[in-house]
Structure 1
Amino acid sequence: MNRRLFLKIGTGLVGIVGAPVMFAISKASAGDVIGKLVKTNAEWKRLLTPAQYDVLREEGTEAPYSSPLNDEKRVGTFVCVACELPLFTSKFKFDSGTGWPSFYDALPGSIATQTDYKLLLPRTEYHCARCGGHHGHVFKDGPAPTGLRYCNNGVALKFIAG
């Protein structure tokens, strides 16, 4: 049995067994208000850089500490780089020490979540509510007032000052 097949089978089993213990952090219901943006893979490849495509469409992860947005401190809004939907405001940003831009909350209706079993244990991943682009994962180890940490790939964001 090759490694890929082993991981697929293992992931499926964990998904079945782990389903009762998964947690959901849902912002998706408000996302239904936002018009969906649908493009083919070929269209996304033309519009995005290879790194952006890998993260947003293939659910890849950029290297920690590689994004200049990790150190962004100005007042402004962080938007989806693919469709420019506002996702986070700078007042939600905090230094998590993880090497990725992190936020303790998202703007209402901006993200949709689903459970990810790629590392066998369930995690909550989040996507842009408009274009479906993968941005990162949300964990329950963030600061007050939410206790959440939206761990975002910087390459999936664009910062708009002001």
Structure 2
Amino acid sequence: MQTFLDFKELLETNENIIVNELSLSYKRAIELNDHQFKMLNSSTKVSNLLREIWETNQIEVRESFYLLCFSSGLDLVGYQKISEGGLDAVIVDIRLLFSIALLSRATSIVVAHNHPSGTLKPSEADKILTQRIVQAGELLSVNVNDHIILTNTSYYSFRDEGLL
């Protein structure tokens, strides 16, 4: 949607100024009322949920990055694939990530990505990205509960391993 503003007096011209307008809405999905989306309070529960929503035929092919948004009771209020990458990297726009979290009224989030190589060890880039997300979350009062790395057969939890 665009809004046309007429500032003729201020600009002393006959031209209109066109600005972009952002419209946000919130609608709770009925599907998220299912029991599997409630009280997700462990890395095991979260990794099981991720396997339900992940494109499983892609887990060994390319990296993807997902966002899970939670209420204060750790009920899932939304999730979104943030980006897809190549064989060994994915780019994450933290502004997009938190715009989704804020729009879904999340009090906390879990981020997740996969390693097609099958290795569970987080890279230095994974650790740096996680810290940047945590810092941004602190500014916005959105807690980062965990960062999960998925492989075809297992998962790695930053929280369980003491990195969060």
Instruction: Give me the TM-score of the superposition, normalised by structure 1.
Output: 0.32
Instruction: Give me the TM-score of the superposition, normalised by structure 2.
Output: 0.32
Q: Determine which structure has more spread, i.e. the larger CA radius of gyration.
A: 2
